[in-house]
Structure 1
Amino acid sequence: MNQRARIVMSDDEVTAFLRESRKLQLGTINPDGTPHMVTMFYGLVDGQIAFWTYGKAQKTLNIGRDPRVTCLVEAGDDYFDLRGVLVYGTARLIDAPDAVLDIGMNITRRMTGAGEDEASDELRGYVEHTGRKRVAYLVEPTRVVSWDHRKLTTPASA
Structure 2
Amino acid sequence: MSVAPQRRGRRIMMTPGELDAFLAAQRTCRVATVSAGGAPHVSALWFAWDGGALWLYSVVRSRRWAQLGRDPRAAVVVDSGEEYGELRGAELAGRVEFVGEVPRTGGPCPELVAVEPLFARKYFGIDEMPHDGRHAWARLVPERIVSWDFRKLGSP
TM-score (norm 1): 0.79
Cα offset, 1:45, TM superposition: 3.4
**After TM superposition, where is structure 1 displaced by more than 2 Å over at least 4 residues in a row?**
44-47, 95-109
**Residues 101, 140 of structure 1: alpha-carbon distance in 2 compared, 3 angstrom cutoff:** closer
Unaligned stretches of 5+ residues in structure 1: none
Give SS of 1:64's match.
helix
Give SS of 1:110's match.
helix
Determine the C-alpha separation between the residues in 2 that align with 1:7 and 1:142. 20
Determine the C-alpha separation between the residues in 2 that align with 1:18 and 1:137. 17
Unaligned stretches of 5+ residues in structure 2: 1-7, 102-106
Determine the C-alpha separation between the residues in 1 that align with 2:118 and 2:69. 23
Determine the C-alpha separation between the residues in 1 that align with 2:48 and 2:19. 15
Q: Give deviations 1:61-102, integer Å, cap 9, x for gaps.
A: 100111011110001000000000100011111133434975
- What percentage of residue pairs aligned between the two structures are identical? 26
Kept in 2: contact 1:43–1:50 (CA 8 A): yes
In terms of fraction of residues, the more helix-rich structure is 1
Cα offset, 1:134, TM superposition: 2.3
Which residue of the partner structure matches residue 143 of structure 2? 142
Cα offset, 1:22, TM superposition: 1.4
Structure exhibiting the larger radius of gyration computed from Cα positions: 1
Q: How many residues align?
A: 142
Which residue of the partner structure matches residue 106 of structure 1? 118
Cα offset, 1:5, TM superposition: 2.2
Give SS of 2:122's match.
helix
Give the RMSD, CA atoms, in angstroms.
2.3
Determine the C-alpha separation between the residues in 1 that align with 2:80 and 2:108. 32
Cα offset, 1:52, TM superposition: 1.5
2:76 is matched by which residue type in structure 1?
Answer: C
Determine the C-alpha separation between the residues in 1 that align with 2:70 and 2:20. 30
Q: Give deviations 1:82-124, integer Å, cap 9, x for gaps.
A: 0001000111111334349755553232123x2xxx43xxx75
